[in-house]
Structures are given as structure tokens and as C-alpha cells.
Amino acid sequence: MTVVIKTKVADAAPSGGELSITPLTGAIGAAISGVRLADISEQQFQVIRQAFHDNCMLVFRDQFLTIDEHIAFAARWGEFEINAMSPYLDDYPMVLPLSNRGKDKAVTENWHYDSTFKAEPPAITMLSARDIPVGGDTMWCNQYLAYESLSPGLQTILQGVRAEFTGARLAKLYGLDKVPSSLHPVVRTHPETGRKALYIGKPGDTVPRLENMTSADSQPLLRHLYEHSTSPDRIYRHQWRNGDLVMWDNRCTMHYAVHDYGDATRELHRVTIAGDRPR
């Protein structure tokens, strides 16, 4: 099997059926071409797995996976995560259809890791793009680099610090009485790569406070970490096309779904892979 590692986006001309890995920015993301995900060998899967760990998120263009193909590819990465709060597709309890509920109900238009209110948040999220409007881009940031670019003094101070993460926005959307929440370390170690990543979310509803601190005491530091994490030099912004399959690692990236498409249709299918307790 030949694997071509491209050095920059401009090199990414269609190649004759070889699996190729092209970085999308200098900080995060890679595009994989030359494969059809519905039909990959174990050897190709291992190359894709390594590229995923090296780049934190992957883009596969022109896949047009059926629901069964999406599920079969996802199953290679671990156990499905089923989210009791959300309405799933009939006959496919692991596939969550994402559609335009309107900007005022868009719970994902902020930088976040998925489902941090859970004790064991999902490890991986995969979206299959089915009907994409003009706009509706999604952005990802690299939380390894966010951690590594903090000053050594602040890195030391953050060891062992935990933050409260809540599902307040989702609870409001689904009319739940009880808001789910969990405490997680703000510096977590990725269980597979062993690298440390800054684990935070939007100060306020999503991350109300640091452990043993009031909200007022916590906010300046939480705001600093949020701004630091989302610096433009550590971000990839994806312009979706129908047929894309995009997957990201929820242990080392945050993402932000831009709602700039008004009432237009935007449909994606989402499958998540279970993760473990951040530590």
C-alpha cells in the first residue's frame, strides 16, 4: 500500500487512488483522499487512525456514505454513544440528525467539547454532510497547542484544577427540570496519545466555575483560557460540501458551528463514539 503525505494544501491534486494525507492548516486538521470509507482495508484504517491522532480532526471529501456505511465506519473506532436527551433516527438509535432549528436555538454556536456535562464525554464525533447551505461552516481549535502555549507558570497552577461543566443549554432546549453537570480536570491527558490538552468550555452556562471557587472568582481565568484556546492561529474552518465525512477528537479539540445561514436547510448525520472519564 502506498501512502502519500502531502506537505501543503496546494499539493492536494487528485491522486490515482493512493491514500494521501494533506494538512489543512499549520496547527490542526488533515484531509484524507484516495479512499472510500465504505471500503477500506485494516491497513488503511491504521494509517487513518495515526493521521487522526497526529492531526486531531480529519476531513474526507466526496464520501456520500449511506447511513449503514456511516455506522459501519464509526463502529471501527469504538462503542456508540447514545444520548438519551436527543431524538434519534428511526431504526438507527446511534444516528442523530442535525438540522436547522434557527439561530436562537443553536446550542453549538460557541466553542465546546461535546457533552462535557457527562461523567464520560464522547471520545469522537463524526458528521456526514447530507444537505449543506451556503455558509454553515464549522471551526475546530487544537487544545494540545492551547495547553502547550500557556506560560509554564500557568501550566503548573492548572495541574489538578477541576471545572464544573453543565448541560444548561441542552436542558433548556429539551425542557428538562434537572441540569446535568460534571467536574473535570481543566488539563486532561489524552488516553491514547499521552499528550496534555486544555479542557474547558464557554464561561457561563457551560462552565460556570472552577471547583471550590465562586463564579466571580473563576470567570477571569476561565475567560482567559477560552480566549487563549480560540486564537486564530490554532484553528481550522471547514466549508462543508454534500458528501463530506468529518471526524474530530473530543479529547483534544473544541469546535464551533457558525450559524450564518438563516432559515436555509442544513442537514448532517452525527454519530458519536463513547469516551472515558477525563483524567
* Number of residues engaging Fe ion in binding (CB under 5 A): 2
**Which of 70, 255, 266, 269 is labelled catalytic?**
255
The answer to whether residue 70 is catalytic is no
Q: Which of 81, 114, 164, 249 binds Fe ion (CB under 5 A)?
A: 114
The answer to whether residue 233 is catalytic is no
Q: DSSP letters along 13-31, please?
A: ---SS-EEEEESSSSS-EE
Residue whose C-alpha is closest to residue 136's, from 112, 106, 174, 116: 106
CA dist., res. 231 & res. 219, Å (int): 18
Nearer to ligand AKG, 82 or 157 (CB): 82
**Region from 55-63, 106-114, 152-160, 216-224 binding Fe ion, contact rule CB under 5 A:** 106-114
User: Does 116 help bind ligand AKG (rule: CB under 6 A)?
Assistant: no
Nearer to Fe ion, 114 or 164 (CB): 114
Nearer to ligand AKG, 44 or 249 (CB): 249
By a kind-dependent CB cut-off of 5 to 8 A, residue 95 interacts, out of ligand AKG, Fe ion, none, with none
The answer to whether residue 112 is catalytic is yes
**Which of 70, 112, 259, 266 is labelled catalytic?**
112
Question: Residue type for 72, please?
Answer: A
The answer to whether residue 238 is catalytic is no
First CA to last CA across the chain, in angstroms?
Answer: 37
Nearer to ligand AKG, 114 or 164 (CB): 114
In angstroms, what is the minimal distance from the CB of 5 to Fe ion?
29
User: Does 255 help bind ligand AKG (rule: CB under 6 A)?
Assistant: yes
Q: Which of 19, 37, 114, 143 binds ligand AKG (CB under 6 A)?
A: 114
In angstroms, what is the minimal distance from the CB of 26 to Fe ion?
24
CA 252 remoteness from chain centre:
8
CA dist., res. 172 & res. 237, Å (int): 28
Q: Which helix (H) or strand (E) holds 33?
A: strand 30-33
- Look at strands 19-23 and 3-5 and give their pairing: parallel
User: Does 130 help bind ligand AKG (rule: CB under 6 A)?
Assistant: no
Distances in Å between the Cα of 172 and the Cα atoms of 85, 108, 180, 211, 246 are 11, 13, 11, 24, 28
Q: Grid coordinates representing 234?
A: 490554532
Backbone phi, then psi, for 179, in 5-degree steps? Answer: -90, 115
Length of the chain: 279
Residue of minimal Cβ distance to Fe ion:
114
User: Does 98 help bind ligand AKG (rule: CB under 6 A)?
Assistant: yes
Residue whose C-alpha is closest to residue 122's, from 256, 269, 263, 253: 253
In angstroms, what is the minimal distance from the CB of 234 to ligand AKG?
18
**Binding-site ranges for Fe ion (CB under 5 A):** 108, 114
Q: Which residues are catalytic?
A: 112, 114, 255, 270
Contact set with ligand AKG (CB under 6 A) = 98, 108, 114, 125, 127, 138, 255, 257, 268, 270
